[in-house]
Structure 1
Amino acid sequence: MTDTTAKFKAFTLKLVNSGTLTGRSYTPAGSTKKKRPLLVLLHGGGCHSGYYDVDESHTAATAAHALRVPVVSIDRPCYMGTSSLFPIPEDSSFHRETGRWEHSYIFPAIWKTFGEPSNCSAIVAMAHSMATPGLLVAASLHAKSENAEYPLAGLIISGWGCRQNLHSQEDWVKWSGNDRQRNRHIVMLSDPKLRTADVKMRDCLPAQTVDAPPEEAEECVVGSWKECFPKIAASIRVPVMYAVGEHDWLWDGSLDNVKEFSAFFTGCPRFDGSVVQGAPHTIEWSYYAAG
């Protein structure tokens, strides 16, 4: 369970489309005295807004407090108390609708509620894993919008890429057998022998795990995302910072993957990509979280 001593506080917002957005936020003292970015965090598949606020050692509040940067961590559509996207229009898809919601309803509401009152300069949005496609769609829509209701200054992406690690059934049996929870351990934190994170993080997984809509993974594995991605990435006009863990169980943690992924962002003014040595899929839960 997320630490009750954490600095983040739960919130619920009503959106202009009559939907609901839930999450948690933290505004450090003194953050309104000088214009700073508003950091908006988006969790991956099967997680929730607590992904960035697990305990006092693994919380975005630490860096937010040190840098005096306001932070908002949301529950993405179809998660926790945030409204569902369904039914999805026939000419759209899960991630396209997620990005449309983020651009049209969610980011404007967050900016009005947290950004403007805190005297922020712009939003910097960070996506982990399955939150990436929707955020890229939102950033693409923002780039094409002449009257966006929020300023967007940059993107941060982790736990994603172009080259998937395709594990055989034998691999799954070797590492986790038929234990669903251990499967989750392996995906998120990799092989325990690699010591990517504190052992206690494995005990946090049950409270940090929720049901995920199957459509979001299906779209990326057997759906249209691979065909849509190049055009969407090329249309983005803000800087991007990208990282993948060396021991990411889902994605190839190599510089070749970083270079291949970065090559699609042809309109991006700056792309910083790196491999975080020793880190698992959940970089934010690893020994390297502070970085």
Structure 2
Amino acid sequence: MAAEHPHSSASFKPFTIRLDNDAKTTGLACVPSTQAHEAGDGPRPLLVGLHGGTCTAAYFDLSPDYSAAAFAVMTGTPFISINRPCYAGSTSILPLEQDEVFFGRTGRWLHEFILPALWSEYGRPNKCDGIVLLSHSMAVPPTIVCAGLHAQQQSDQALYPLAGIILTGWGSQPGNPPNLSRDANTGLLTPSFGAKVELMLGDASSTCYDPSVVAILKQQESLQNVGMPEQEGTQIEQWITKAEELCSRVRVPVLYGMGENDFLWNASKEDVQSFARLFTTSAKVETKIVLGVPHAIEWSRSSKAWYWQCFGWASEVSVALQWRKGAF
């Protein structure tokens, strides 16, 4: 992966982890030194990035100017960006059982196998307080499923501590559907390069991003525009019918941000609040319409401002998790 990623931050390193179900998860890891985070020296969440459809773990490391790594190093916060199941070397969850939903199985794998492995590999050894998931677009439904499953466990039985979830690029009312082509041999769905740019950043007249981002995307097309399983790409409507039930199971804090100029979802104040209200049992729900940005907030002119908010919020909910455990 590193050889194909010429703009990658030097702080991110590729990894492969074997899971308890004998599957594997691949991705990129930025793990700052623990020296400044000895016991009692402040919160240290383990931030786990989950990319959207037709992307890879490199979504959170587009270039040194658009990377979570800089904030991980500045704050001493480990950031692990995984390739979700079926992507870039991570084991596929297919085929699905009859009536099984792609998002549901992905969420279950996150809860039962992937997050426990990441906690053992990166969380506990680096003295982290809990996991915070930063999930974009198609990663949002499995994140919600995972958080709901975690809420059903007693804290002393959980294989990992979940402090909160950050959700972006998803909503209650779909906007413009992406234009995807199906590969007859693999069944994977992939947008053309032009369609991918429009989906993630807006049309050619948009000023929500620096034009240099398009050139970077073109150089990294093999990482930033990959095939998406057909089952994932065709189940958005099915998800919407189950969203109220699944969101109501989430108990951890939720930070929900939508780009004002999101292509895939309507981002009006009413639509954002409508989705946020589904989290009826969450400890707290914060919503943000991030002004002047597209679907891919992390690739926008406000990328740095958004990452600052995410890392700060992750620290806040990590402190809250420790307080609820009676650690202070």
TM-score by length of 2: 0.82
CA distance in 2, matches of 1:249, 1:202: 16
Q: After superposition, give the CA deviation of every residue in 1:90-113 in whole Å (9 maximum; x if it has no partner).
A: 242100000000000000000000
Q: 1:68 to 1:168 in 2, by over 3 A?
A: closer
Q: After superposition, give the CA deviation of every residue in 1:132-180 in whole Å (9 maximum; x if it has no partner).
A: 00110000000012222000000001111001114699xxxxxxxxx92
What root-mean-square deviation, in Å, do the aligned CA atoms of Structure 1 and Structure 2 show? 1.6
State yes or no: 1:255 paired with 2:265: no
- Report the residue type matching 1:247 in the other structure: N
| 2:12 corresponds to which of 8, 14, 21 | 8
| Deviation of 1:4 (Å) | 4.3
Q: After superposition, give the CA deviation of every residue in 1:230-252 in whole Å (9 maximum; x if it has no partner).
A: 11100100000011111111111
CA distance in 1, matches of 2:296, 2:176: 18
| 1:211 corresponds to which of 227, 233, 258 | 227
| 2:259 corresponds to which of 216, 240, 245 | 245
Aligned position for 2:302? 288
Contact 1:124 1:153 in 2 (8 A): yes
Q: After superposition, give the CA deviation of every residue in 1:10-65 in whole Å (9 maximum; x if it has no partner).
A: 00000000001000101112354244110000000000000001111000011111
- Report the residue type matching 1:138 in the other structure: C
Q: After superposition, give the CA deviation of every residue in 1:199-225 in whole Å (9 maximum; x if it has no partner).
A: 12112322411111111121113xx21
Contact 1:246 1:277 in 2 (8 A): yes
Secondary structure in 2 aligned to 1:290?
helix
- Report the residue type matching 2:256 in the other structure: Y
- Report the residue type matching 1:234 in the other structure: S
Secondary structure in 2 aligned to 1:235?
coil
Secondary structure in 1 aligned to 2:174?
coil
Q: 1:168 to 1:143 in 2, by over 3 A?
A: closer
Q: 1:2 to 1:237 in 2, by over 3 A?
A: farther
Aligned position for 1:193? 205
State yes or no: 1:233 paired with 2:233: no
1:149-168 map, 5 Å: 149-166=159-176
Contact 2:147 2:250 in 1 (8 A): yes
State yes or no: 1:75 paired with 2:75: no
State yes or no: 1:181 paired with 2:193: yes
Secondary structure in 2 aligned to 1:113?
helix
Q: Which runs of 5+ in 2 are unaligned?
A: 180-190, 306-328
Contact 1:31 1:69 in 2 (8 A): no
Q: Which runs of 5+ in 1 are unaligned?
A: 170-178
Contact 1:233 1:265 in 2 (8 A): yes
TM-score by length of 1: 0.92
CA distance in 1, matches of 2:100, 2:136: 22
| 2:116 corresponds to which of 94, 108, 112 | 108
The count of aligned residue pairs is 280
Contact 1:157 1:240 in 2 (8 A): yes
| Deviation of 1:116 (Å) | 0.4
Contact 1:2 1:53 in 2 (8 A): no
CA distance in 2, matches of 1:285, 1:149: 33
